[in-house]
């Protein structure tokens, strides 16, 4: 069989495109802010991970400009060799201190952070145990390690207990969970999970990609639960609240020293450009000195959650600025996405395998920089489309009490 035969028989995207309903890889124009331009139409953006709206913050933008002027556009080498700047080492220290850990290590992307850290630490004879809804980068890190992967039911401490009980007592064990799940918007039950890890002598790593800048004044899930000292590794990304691209892992100094000498995704990738490192540092400064951004994010989240519930949308177990609208049907989910664009509202349609079977949803998420007017425009569009497509009860309105 020709290796490329699979490319000729892949028709799913082609069929959706011909119907004018293909929602992925669509180009946006305009700024990465509260509105965007999509196919010539202004839309309220409620699909971005720009939780604090810092991609357009004057201090953050100025930091990137000054870094380019001083250092140029790139490092042209890995941190292992010539691509290690003072910017990177300052970020290592600042981010570790921010999340309450002894040391940190900055990677070029969040994906590489998970892949590199997990594959470096989990070796032959070790086990890595993950939540069934963990991010793909965690799963790939497990596949790339030489250890054995086990899974437990989503946010189910009893299932984790059962999984760990079946692993040899003397084996190395790493449990990896998302702090906030990127599709469901729910928070991991860290107190229960951490207790079970202690019971079985397992280490625990938390992916805080969607928690940094959001929970506990921006310090993440472990701080949210007061468990910083009990979580062994805290991972975060720059592509959400830190307004650029990159990732980091934080833990003990010895663990970071080991990872930086064994994580192939770190050692053999060019380091973050100076402008990116400067952007992340400036965004971190803003989070630490201007707490009103986090508060505004939560005010907007509460406002939208209340409005969505008045309309009768099923938002599942979400308790964060990620609020999914469960539709449970792939075709109707894409139809709803398209109809909302027509109403001037941009959401993200998510269908299997991005979510479990029959778990299709519209992913919405909110920013500190949304005004009440933006949110009301979004709610009005969601009301109209919800009624037109029978997604919400016939009697539900924004005036519902």
- 238 with 340, same domain? no
Per-residue pLDDT tens over the stretch 218-266: 999 999 999 999 999 999 999 999 999 999 999 999 999 999 999 999 9
Task: Write down the pTM of the prediction.
Answer: 0.95
- C-alpha–C-alpha distance, residues 285 and 278, integer Å: 11
Please indicate, yes or no, whether residues 261 and 162 belong to a single structural domain of this protein: yes
pLDDT digits (tens, 9 = 90+) for 354-387: 888 888 999 999 999 999 999 999 999 999 999 9
Within this chain, do residues 348 and 270 fall inside the same structural domain, yes or no? no
Q: How many domains does the chain have?
A: 2
Q: Do 86 and 215 have their domain in common? A: yes
Q: Using alpha carbons, select from 119, 286, 277, 138 the residue that is nearest to residue 209.
A: 138
DSSP-derived letter for residue 192 is H
Instruction: Tell me the per-residue pLDDT of 36-92, one tens digit each, with 9 for 90 and over.
Output: 999 889 999 999 999 999 999 999 999 999 999 999 999 999 999 999 999 899 999
Q: Cα separation of 105 and 113, whole Å?
A: 9
Residue 171 and residue 213 in one domain: yes
Residues 174 and 222 in one domain: yes
CATH code of the domain in which 113 resides: 3.40.640.10
297 and 379 share one domain: yes
Q: List the structure tokens of 321.
A: 């600025």
Specify whether the CB–CB gap between 73 and 277 falls below 8 A: no
Residues 370 and 321 in one domain: yes
Range(s) of the domain holding residue 275: 57-289
Nearest to 372 by CA among 315, 313, 311, 302: 302
What confidence score (pLDDT) does residue 400 get?
Answer: 57
The answer to whether residue 333 is domain-embedded is: yes
CA distance 78 to 84: 7
Instruction: Indicate if 164 and 92 belong to the same structural domain.
Output: yes
Asked whether residue 236 falls in the same domain as residue 377, the answer is no
Residue 207 pLDDT class (50, 70, 90 cuts): very high
Residues in the chain: 401
Q: If we measure between CA atoms, which residue out of 246, 254, 242, 249 comes closest to residue 272? A: 246
38 forms bridges with which residues in the sheet? 41
Same-domain check for residues 111 and 177 = yes
CA distance 340 to 343: 5
Q: Give domain status of residue 398, yes or no.
A: no
Q: What is the pLDDT of residues 106-157, one digit of tens each?
A: 999 999 999 999 999 999 999 999 999 999 999 999 999 999 999 999 999 9
């Amino acid at each position: 069989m020709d290796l490329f035969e699979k490319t000729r028989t892949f028709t799913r995207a082609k069929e959706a495109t011909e119907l004018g309903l293909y929602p992925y890889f669509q180009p946006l124009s305009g700024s990465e802010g509260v509105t965007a331009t999509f196919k010539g139409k202004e839309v309220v953006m409620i699909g971005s991970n720009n939780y604090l709206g810092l991609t357009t913050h004057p201090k953050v933008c100025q930091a990137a400009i000054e870094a380019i002027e001083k250092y140029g556009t790139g490092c042209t080498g890995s941190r292992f060799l010539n691509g290690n700047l003072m910017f990177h080492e300052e970020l290592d220290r600042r981010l570790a201190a921010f999340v309450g850990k002894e040391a940190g290590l900055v990677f070029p992307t969040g994906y590489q952070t998970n892949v590199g850290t997990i594959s470096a630490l989990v070796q032959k004879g070790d086990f890595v145990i993950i939540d069934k809804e963990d991010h793909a980068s965690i799963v790939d890190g497990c596949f790339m390690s030489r250890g054995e992967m086990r899974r437990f039911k989503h946010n189910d401490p009893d299932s984790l207990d059962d999984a760990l009980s079946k692993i040899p007592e003397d084996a190395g064990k790493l449990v990896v969970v998302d702090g906030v799940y990127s599709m469901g918007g729910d928070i991991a039950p860290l107190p229960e999970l951490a207790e079970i890890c202690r019971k079985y002598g397992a280490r625990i790593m938390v992916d805080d990609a969607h928690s940094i800048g959001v929970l506990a004044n921006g310090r993440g899930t472990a701080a949210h639960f007061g468990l910083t000292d009990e979580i062994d590794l805290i991972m975060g990304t720059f592509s959400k609240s830190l307004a650029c691209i990159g990732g980091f892992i934080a833990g003990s100094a010895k663990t970071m020293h080991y990872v930086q000498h064994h994580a192939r995704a770190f050692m053999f990738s060019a380091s973050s450009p100076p402008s990116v490192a400067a952007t992340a540092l400036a965004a971190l400064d803003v989070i630490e000195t201007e707490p009103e951004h986090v508060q505004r994010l939560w005010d907007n989240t509460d406002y939208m959650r209340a409005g969505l519930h008045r309309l009768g949308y099923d938002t599942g177990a979400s308790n964060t600025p990620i609020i999914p609208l469960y539709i449970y049907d792939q075709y109707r989910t894409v139809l709803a996405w398209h109809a909302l664009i027509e109403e001037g509202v941009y959401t993200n349609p998510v269908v299997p395998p991005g979510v479990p079977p029959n778990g299709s949803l519209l992913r919405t998420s909110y920013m500190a920089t949304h005004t009440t007017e933006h949110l009301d425009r979004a709610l009005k569009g969601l009301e109209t489309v919800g009624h037109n497509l029978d997604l919400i009860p016939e009697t539900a309105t924004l005036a519902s009490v």
